Structure 1
Amino acid sequence: MGRLFGTDGVRGVANADLTAELALGLSVAAAHVLAEAGTFAGHRATAVVGRDPRASGEFLEAAVVAGLASAGVDVLRVGVLPTPAVAHLTGALGADLGVMLSASHNAMPDNGIKFFARGGHKLADELEDRIESVYAEHRTGAPWDRPTGAGVGRVRDYDEGLDQYVAHLVGVLPNRLDGLKIVLDEAHGAASRVSPEAFARAGAELVTIGAVPDGLNINDGCGSTHLDLLKAAVVEHGADLGIAHDGDADRCLAVDHTGAEVDGDQILAVLALAMREREALRSDTVVATVMSNLGFKLAMEREGIRFVQTGVGDRYVLEEMKEHGYALGGEQSGHVIILDHATTGDGTLTGLMLAARVAQTGRTLRDLASVMERLPQVLVNVPDVDKSRVSTSAELAAAVSEAERELGSTGRVLLRPSGTEPLVRVMVEAADIEQAQSVAGRLADSVKSALG
């Protein structure tokens, strides 16, 4: 059995890769491991369990709840809520662990299981490895230590979760959104009730699309991975801006009043300046990944804000933030972490904070986002190469050095082996698109020659 946990939980095609048996077994293993780690040793454990609207989430939720209760864990079932809501409630309710069933922005047939530790934090790698090990051990025949009688877990619905989470979101806003007209695209996902409720309570006039989940239409041509509907709706309704979430609402992308996209780098730039202004940007530092546009780095340098880079993945951004006490970080894809108010990327919170900045300044989102200029970025995938030699090939190193000399201070090169496929990603940024395409093409040829 290969490693089950990926960069964001366990994910696969529901009822094929991710079965009810696997969900049940992992839940029992998680209960045992977290108990052994001292997370809830010595008292009766409680878990918060939520899901997105996928049809497969119904049977997977039943399996997770059964597994936890059979291990002696009391379960608070919060129903369809965003991933950051489950993380928030895990902390706010003093629960010992949280479980979210979602495959985020993936297509409907997929699903996933994400575990949260006490406080609503994602599990460290060593705990994930331990859960896998315990699951594998019992899968091959070792019996579980099962409670009986009054020792089994009890299950109840926690219907107050939505209102509690929305109250938290609205309560941390620096100002209201009165006077703004906003289009929300909920991706027919987990925020279909939460996000409109939060924006409405904050005072915005709303137009909502993609907010009628039926279990089968999540992320289907809508949401943060398909912005065309949102762009058209913003222009049609004369809105000030548009906000798009993905299926589990842990990310946010935006559209300005002209229908132009505002990506995660631009959102980070706007929020960084807003937080510094109100003295909430600790150490005047923002954290982002190596995939952030060079224009973001140049803008932060110009504004006197320190930019710390991490590897690709919001978990690495979060680790850097927690280790050094930074308040803001995120990814170009729209995962934005505001650590004072969330333990994970929170698309609804991000959208609210972005809209609050528009309302507070009276400036358009287009104007605010112009603090950074996105440099042309070209990404080429080079398949069927030995990606393990990216960092050791002298031929490739020479080609990269030559490209960097050509680009100078107004360009950037990044070669990154894929984490899941036998290919290398070549990313080039330059002052103009023709130069970026030319350099990327030559580097792709060099990768084929050196690593083929």
Structure 2
Amino acid sequence: MKYFGTDGFRGRANEGLNVEHAFKIGRFVGWYYGARQGKKARVILGKDTRRSSYMFESALVSGLVASGADAYMLHVIPTPGVSFEVPDGGFDCGVMITASHNPYTDNGIKLVNREGYKMEEEVLELIESYIDGGSEVPLATGEAIGRTVDYMQGRNRYLSSLISSCGFSLQGFKIGLDCANGAASSVARPVFDALGAETHVISNAPDGFNINVDCGSTHIDSLQRFVVQNGLDVGFAYDGDADRCLAVDERGHVVDGDLILYVCGTYLNKHGRLSGQTVVPTIMSNFGLFRAFDAAGLSYEKTDVGDKNVYACMREHGYSLGGEQSGHIIFGDLEKTGDGVMTSLRVMEVLRAEREKLSELCRPVTLYPQQLVNVRVSDKEAAMGAPAVKDAVADAERYLEGNGRVLVRASGTEPLVRVLAEAPEERLCTEANAFVLKALDPFRA
């Protein structure tokens, strides 16, 4: 794919991704779904809080209505809110404007099909061809021109679905939330307040420029301090579009996606709710997690990195829980994509039912040290295919003598090659990574 990576069409606002791209995406989507069914397409849109999201929203809406589609605007909402509302409201597809955990200078466009899943690649390829001038679509005229609808009831239904997924009260719990000055800012607190929690919130005053700045799941140290200083029971940090969640226990220790998978997986299995007694992590998950699953009698099926790959495996085999170390957690019996707020509610279900602190629930897992280095390169494909890089990985793993591993993968959204070493000691991680980093020197940007 030329424009659409693993997480949509993403780039620096008005540079890598500009308003003309957005307008053309709207034009094609509005025409495509209308022509396919012989009637007006209905498309729903959401956005995060970065300044450029408003610009891209206007461009997308202009393209949609110009092609005859009706555009229903959810305004600021988490990405999973769009995925929820597309099938719930009977829409043809959904559009989310976000660059997730990236800085405010970036933005992106994610497309969701009518079932609430990520858009099929064959449709994305048609959109790319249109963007590059490989096809034409007609403009609507007269009564065929579309309209815009302020669709706040869709946002309210999403909030209600989160609350109704909990058959329990959170009264008596003191909970901290870091909303990353992003899409969770108008959603997370109302949900926890409605469930009776004593809710303490930080980073929930978006100004268009402060999304993900020293806050949220990518800068969780603020929440760690906040939980300890205020004597809270637990804290949850979201990313810019709130499809990720990381937790902080009562001692201020980070509980990442791997630990959340363990806590929720063992709980669901205990109550007969873990399909196939299997969890779906990715190849980036920690060795310690796999060993803890073995000790708990749980199976696991590893996938390539990306929540898209996790959910594809879950759908194919009917599994009910999967996710990534980064905090993309999917509860397959409740949702079709990662939802940060839903993840925090499911962790609270475990805390309430087990009557244990989060640190105690995580204790059976001993995580191996990991060292991840991002290398900015001029050509990801050339770097990944270089024999010298492949040989360096083999040399590094021989050096670890079977007591660790080295993974090298290209970022799906940035010009980066990610090098991950995992070993019993931090020193060994550094030494193993050095093999690969040296081999990547000729490709550095």
Task: Indicate the TM-score class for this superposition, using the shorter chain for normalisation.
Answer: over 0.9
SS at match of 2:39: coil
Residue 62 of structure 1 pairs with residue 58 of structure 2: yes
Which string of whole-angstrom CA distances, capped at 9 and with x for unpartnered residues, describes residues 129-167 of structure 1?
1111123226xxx65312222212121101212321111
Distance 1:290 1:298 in 2: 14
Distance 1:166 1:228 in 2: 28
SS at match of 2:367: coil
Whether contact under 8 Å (1:403, 1:413) holds in the other structure is no
2:262 aligned residue (266, 269, 272): 269
Q: For residue 403 of structure 1, what is the aligned residue in structure 2?
A: 399
Whether contact under 8 Å (1:246, 1:252) holds in the other structure is yes
Whether contact under 8 Å (1:377, 1:436) holds in the other structure is yes
- Once the two structures are superposed, the pairs formed by residues 273-312 of structure 1 within 5 Å of their partners are 273-312=266-305
Q: For residue 89 of structure 1, what is the aligned residue in structure 2?
A: 85
SS at match of 1:276: helix
Question: What displacement does 1:447 show?
Answer: 6.6
Indicate how the Cα distance of structure 1 residues 251 and 437 shifts in structure 2: closer, same or farther if over 3 A, else same. same
Indicate how the Cα distance of structure 1 residues 422 and 403 shifts in structure 2: closer, same or farther if over 3 A, else same. farther
SS at match of 1:225: coil
Indicate how the Cα distance of structure 1 residues 382 and 102 shifts in structure 2: closer, same or farther if over 3 A, else same. closer
Residue 77 of structure 1 pairs with residue 73 of structure 2: yes
Whether contact under 8 Å (1:170, 1:202) holds in the other structure is yes
Indicate how the Cα distance of structure 1 residues 365 and 391 shifts in structure 2: closer, same or farther if over 3 A, else same. farther
Question: What displacement does 1:267 show?
Answer: 0.8
Which string of whole-angstrom CA distances, capped at 9 and with x for unpartnered residues, describes residues 38-97 of structure 1?
4xx133321111111112111211111111111111121111111100110111101111
Residue 217 of structure 1 pairs with residue 216 of structure 2: no
Q: For residue 19 of structure 1, what is the aligned residue in structure 2?
A: 18
Amino acid in the other structure paired with 2:295: R
Whether contact under 8 Å (1:390, 1:415) holds in the other structure is no
Whether contact under 8 Å (2:264, 2:347) holds in the other structure is yes
Which string of whole-angstrom CA distances, capped at 9 and with x for unpartnered residues, describes residues 88-118 of structure 1?
0111101111111111111111111111110
Question: What displacement does 1:255 show?
Answer: 0.6
Indicate how the Cα distance of structure 1 residues 358 and 77 shifts in structure 2: closer, same or farther if over 3 A, else same. same
Distance 1:216 1:245 in 2: 17
Indicate how the Cα distance of structure 1 residues 335 and 423 shifts in structure 2: closer, same or farther if over 3 A, else same. closer
Indicate how the Cα distance of structure 1 residues 209 and 448 shifts in structure 2: closer, same or farther if over 3 A, else same. closer
Gaps of 5+ in 2: none
Whether contact under 8 Å (1:187, 1:245) holds in the other structure is yes
- Once the two structures are superposed, the pairs formed by residues 163-242 of structure 1 within 5 Å of their partners are 163-242=156-235
Question: What displacement does 1:178 show?
Answer: 2.0
Residue 10 of structure 1 pairs with residue 9 of structure 2: yes
Q: Give percent identity, aligned residues only.
A: 40
Indicate how the Cα distance of structure 1 residues 383 and 45 shifts in structure 2: closer, same or farther if over 3 A, else same. closer
Residue 44 of structure 1 pairs with residue 53 of structure 2: no
Whether contact under 8 Å (1:162, 1:194) holds in the other structure is no
Q: For residue 115 of structure 2, what is the aligned residue in structure 1?
A: 119
Which string of whole-angstrom CA distances, capped at 9 and with x for unpartnered residues, describes residues 258-306 of structure 1?
1111111101111111222232211111112111111111111111111
Amino acid in the other structure paired with 2:10: R
SS at match of 1:156: strand
Which string of whole-angstrom CA distances, capped at 9 and with x for unpartnered residues, describes residues 167-208 of structure 1?
101111253322110010001111111111111112211001
Distance 1:116 1:418 in 2: 21
Whether contact under 8 Å (2:376, 2:415) holds in the other structure is yes
Residue 252 of structure 1 pairs with residue 245 of structure 2: yes
Question: What displacement does 1:401 show?
Answer: 5.2
Q: For residue 104 of structure 1, what is the aligned residue in structure 2?
A: 100
SS at match of 2:334: coil
Question: What displacement does 1:396 show?
Answer: 4.0
Greater mean alpha carbon deviation, residues 425-434 or residues 225-234: 425-434
Indicate how the Cα distance of structure 1 residues 360 and 216 shifts in structure 2: closer, same or farther if over 3 A, else same. same
Tell me how many residue pairs correspond in the alignment: 441
Instruction: Tell me the TM-score normalised to structure 1 length.
Output: 0.91
Gaps of 5+ in 1: none
Which string of whole-angstrom CA distances, capped at 9 and with x for unpartnered residues, describes residues 356-411 of structure 1?
2112211111111223111111234567695243579784465255235x234xx3
Indicate how the Cα distance of structure 1 residues 143 and 242 shifts in structure 2: closer, same or farther if over 3 A, else same. same
Q: For residue 383 of structure 2, what is the aligned residue in structure 1?
A: 387
Amino acid in the other structure paired with 1:387: A
Amino acid in the other structure paired with 2:93: L
Question: What displacement does 1:437 show?
Answer: 2.7
Distance 1:104 1:390 in 2: 31
SS at match of 2:82: helix
Q: For residue 131 of structure 1, what is the aligned residue in structure 2?
A: 127
Indicate how the Cα distance of structure 1 residues 398 and 143 shifts in structure 2: closer, same or farther if over 3 A, else same. closer
Distance 2:296 2:280 in 1: 15
Question: What displacement does 1:355 show?
Answer: 1.5
Distance 2:231 2:394 in 1: 52
Whether contact under 8 Å (1:241, 1:254) holds in the other structure is yes
Whether contact under 8 Å (2:234, 2:250) holds in the other structure is yes
Distance 2:410 2:209 in 1: 33
Indicate how the Cα distance of structure 1 residues 118 and 395 shifts in structure 2: closer, same or farther if over 3 A, else same. closer
Distance 1:412 1:304 in 2: 24
Whether contact under 8 Å (2:375, 2:416) holds in the other structure is yes
Whether contact under 8 Å (1:33, 1:127) holds in the other structure is no
Question: What displacement does 1:419 show?
Answer: 5.1
Indicate how the Cα distance of structure 1 residues 397 and 179 shifts in structure 2: closer, same or farther if over 3 A, else same. closer
Amino acid in the other structure paired with 2:4: F
Whether contact under 8 Å (1:390, 1:396) holds in the other structure is no
Which string of whole-angstrom CA distances, capped at 9 and with x for unpartnered residues, describes residues 218-252 of structure 1?
11111111112111111111000110001110100
Amino acid in the other structure paired with 2:369: P
Amino acid in the other structure paired with 1:196: R
Whether contact under 8 Å (1:170, 1:198) holds in the other structure is yes
Whether contact under 8 Å (1:387, 1:423) holds in the other structure is no
Whether contact under 8 Å (1:14, 1:109) holds in the other structure is yes
